[in-house]
């Protein structure tokens, strides 16, 4: 039965409910014995690193919020089952209750390639600082000093801040982890 031709489709879901929709679709397909018609249900995600309370926190977020990729052969009741899953809005590209439109192979490769690329690069830190912003040093010899961000070096994940020492501004290079917003 694995010789059934499958194409990729995009299902629109309520943003933030993608994981629930994925679980519902997979359980419905399994319960009805239609696993031959739906082979993959994917939520494109990316890993994002943020700095919270001086610690680097890894978080996985949806790369395309509100969209789920499905590799399937939409015959018979399969599209009907998917459309009627809780929190599903419908298929992308179809007119209201019309035929779902399959993605072109180049689009699928671009989306999946982008997701793979994001998984490989790993660290993408959201820079929570802005030049000219007041920050407090929380680590190192200048602990508890107030400073002003002068330069942000994204490659090295460092900031150059000016700290007032004896009434003079002194530039100091610190990592993102050594400062926090005031």
**Residue 1, pLDDT above cutoff 60:** no
pTM strictly above 0.85: no
Question: Mean pLDDT across the stretch 131-142?
Answer: 88
Question: Domain coordinates of the chain in residue numbers?
Answer: 7-121, 134-181
How far is it, in rounded angstroms, from Cα 69 to Cα 82? 12
Structure tokens at 131: 């030049």
**Residue 44, pLDDT above cutoff 70:** yes
pLDDT band at 59 (very low <50, low <70, confident <90, very high): confident
pLDDT reported for residue 122: 52
For the chain, give the mean pLDDT: 83
CATH fold for the domain made of 7-121? Alpha-Beta Plaits (3.30.70)
- In tens, the pLDDT along 84-131 reads 898 898 888 767 667 788 888 888 888 777 766 666 555 555 667 888
Question: Among 79-83, 100-104, 153-157, where is mean pLDDT lowest?
Answer: 153-157
Measured on CA atoms in the order 120, 126, 130, 133, is the torsion positive or negative? Answer: negative
Q: CATH says 134-181 is which class?
A: mainly beta
């Amino acid at each position: 039965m694995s010789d059934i031709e499958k194409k990729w489709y995009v299902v629109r879901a309520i943003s933030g409910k993608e994981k629930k929709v994925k679980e519902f679709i997979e359980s419905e397909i399994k319960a009805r014995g239609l696993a031959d018609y739906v082979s993959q249900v994917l939520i494109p995600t990316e890993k994002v690193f943020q700095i919270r309370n001086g610690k680097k926190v890894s978080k996985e977020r949806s790369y395309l919020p509100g969209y789920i990729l499905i590799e399937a052969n939409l015959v018979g009741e399969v599209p009907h089952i998917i459309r009627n899953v809780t929190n599903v809005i419908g298929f992308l590209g179809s007119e209201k209750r019309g035929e779902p439109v399959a993605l072109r192979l180049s689009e699928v490769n671009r989306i999946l390639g982008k997701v793979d690329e994001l998984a490989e690069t790993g660290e993408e830190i959201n820079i929570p600082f802005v030049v000219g912003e007041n920050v407090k040093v929380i680590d190192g010899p200048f602990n508890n000093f107030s400073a002003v961000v002068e330069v942000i070096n994204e490659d090295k994940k460092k900031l150059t801040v000016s700290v007032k020492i004896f009434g003079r501004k002194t530039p100091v290079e610190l990592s993102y982890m050594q400062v926090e917003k005031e």
